[in-house]
Amino acid sequence: MSNESRAPNSLASPPEGEAGERSEPGGGSPSLAPHSQLTPLPDPPPQGGREDSQQPTGKKTKQQQFRREKRDVHGWIVLDKPVGMTSTQAVGAIKRLFSCKRAGHAGTLDPLASGALPIALGEATKTVPFVMDGRKTYSFTVHWGEERDTDDADGRVTATSDMRPDRAAIEALLPDYTGTISQVPPQYSAIKVEGERAYDLARDGETVDLQARPVDIHRLELVGMPDADTALFEAECGKGTYVRSLARDIGRALGCFGHIKALRREAVGTFSKNDMISLEQLTAMCHRATAGEGSLADALLPVETALDDIPALAVARADAARLQRGQAVLLRGRDAPIFRGPVYVTVSGQLVALAEVDRGEIVPKRVFNLAGLVGSRSLKKGR
């Protein structure tokens, strides 16, 4: 991801993980959310035979299980992830609700964190890098007086102080953490060290020497001090920024230590808090759709929503067909745009391809097949 709120310079595959927050333990394949988080959808009706069949005496039979057929679903869900749920569990829950074939998120949120978790379904997964490269906005609470090994409330206390900072001291320090700064990731992070994740090494008791790296903090504000032990902040930052490291470093600079007590992501790229939807709302919409009341397309943002920061280019149907076959198209005519860089191509308002314009040619990089359920929800304005 770039450190600016614009599209990446190339149409590369998605990065291996979001560096913004700690990856949840376990990794591996997606798992479903706890039963308390979701209301099960109705089972499909029995197919063939009687509802109650008499079984021979003395024989044990396995209960028949019905599996809903996976389907093609394309679009974005900006989930308002609850505290306590991992990002992997959240993706699993969305896949279950939509019975979709493919899904992935655009930036991990810790179990401790809540808020915007953009989840791409189907062909939207091809646009994940554009979301991950966008700016992120966080609101967070720092608890003073303790530093912890995870740099948040889940960790073990490693240092304490009786000192507490006042507003003037905090505000005087914030300019030092605004702009391009050098930041050391937390010990418990997804950074790879000689092929292993730092959080795995940390759990085994190893102290990992992680190198500082540049990150962009576009805005950092103190918004409240409810009491002497806590301070409320808002931050807008670029790719790779760890808010936990920010709290740790500010605490050390103030001489009082500190760690993240609460963290909420308010916005990611073009997605704002107005676009978020809860699991409860999605579950209710799925039930209504099952009953024939409304469509799940109303819950999905269109695939191209993630591409708002790059130009759109409309082409004729013949050119769209060539692009979908992976063939380059020559820009012709007096009104042909003169520029170089990434574009998303449409025909009659429908997304066709991600492409690069170079030397008067449209060169397709990613082609979209939007057969199936496609998002129709509108992006809401405002932050």
144 lies in the same domain as 256: yes
User: In this structure, what CATH number is given to the domain that contains residue 333?
Assistant: 2.30.130.10
Is residue 262 domain-resident? yes
Residue 10: both structure tokens together: 């190339």
Helices (H) and strands (E) in the chain, counts: 7, 18
Is residue 282 domain-resident? no
Q: Dihedral sign, CA of 157, 111, 20, 169? A: negative
Instruction: Compute the distance between CA of residue 346 and CA of residue 314 in angstroms, rounded to an integer.
Output: 5
Instruction: Compute the distance between CA of residue 157 and CA of residue 145 in angstroms, rounded to an integer.
Output: 10
Antiparallel, parallel or unpaired: β 113-121 and 103-105: antiparallel
User: In this structure, what CATH number is given to the domain that contains residue 141?
Assistant: 3.30.2350.10
Residue with the two structure tokens 């389907």? 71
∠ CA 196-198-199, nearest 5°, is: 110
220 lies in the same domain as 343: no
Answer whether residue 271 shows pLDDT above 80. Answer: yes
Is residue 13 domain-resident? no
> What's the total number of domains in the chain?
2
261 lies in the same domain as 329: no
Is residue 318 domain-resident? yes
What is the overall mean pLDDT for the chain? 81
149 lies in the same domain as 201: yes
256 lies in the same domain as 315: no
Answer whether residue 151 shows pLDDT above 90. Answer: yes
CA distances in angstroms from 238 to 93, 136, 178, listed in the order given? 28, 6, 11
Is residue 233 domain-resident? yes
Catalytic residue among 110, 216, 249, 319: 110
Is residue 242 domain-resident? yes
Q: Which of 115-119, 192-196, 249-253, 347-351 has the lowest mean pLDDT?
A: 192-196
- Which of 244, 268, 292 terminates a domain? The answer is 268
pLDDT band at 45 (very low <50, low <70, confident <90, very high): very low
Kindly report, residue by residue over 359-375, the tens digit of the pLDDT: 888 999 999 999 888 87
254 lies in the same domain as 343: no
CA distances in angstroms from 253 to 71, 165, 175, listed in the order given? 53, 11, 12
- Which of 242, 268, 294 terminates a domain? The answer is 268
Query: What is the maximum span of the chain, computed from C-alpha positions, in angstroms?
Result: 83
- Which of 268, 300, 326 terminates a domain? The answer is 268
Is residue 101 domain-resident? no
316 lies in the same domain as 264: no
Q: Which domain holds residue 264?
A: 136-268
pLDDT band at 13 (very low <50, low <70, confident <90, very high): very low
110 assigned to active site: yes
pLDDT band at 378 (very low <50, low <70, confident <90, very high): low
Q: What are phi and psi of 20, to 5 degrees?
A: -70, -35
Q: What are phi and psi of 291, to 5 degrees?
A: -85, 5
Using an 8 Å Cβ cutoff, are 273 and 266 in contact?
Answer: yes
261 lies in the same domain as 355: no
Answer whether residue 273 shows pLDDT above 70. Answer: yes
Kindly report, residue by residue over 277-328, the tens digit of the pLDDT: 999 999 998 888 888 887 888 889 999 999 988 999 999 999 999 999 999 9
Answer whether residue 167 shows pLDDT above 90. Answer: yes
161 lies in the same domain as 253: yes
147 lies in the same domain as 231: yes
Instruction: Compute the distance between CA of residue 232 and CA of residue 200 in angstroms, rounded to an integer.
Output: 30
Residue 88 parent element (H or E): helix 87-98
DSSP character string of 177-221 = GSEEEEEPPPSSSS-EETTEEHHHHHHTTPPP-PPPEEEEEEEEE
Report pLDDT for 3: 37
Q: Which of 27-31, 121-125, 308-312, 344-348 has the lowest mean pLDDT?
A: 27-31
Answer whether residue 244 shows pLDDT above 70. Answer: yes
Is residue 91 domain-resident? no
Tell me what percent of the chain is helix, strand and coil, each rounded to the nearest 5: 20, 30, 50
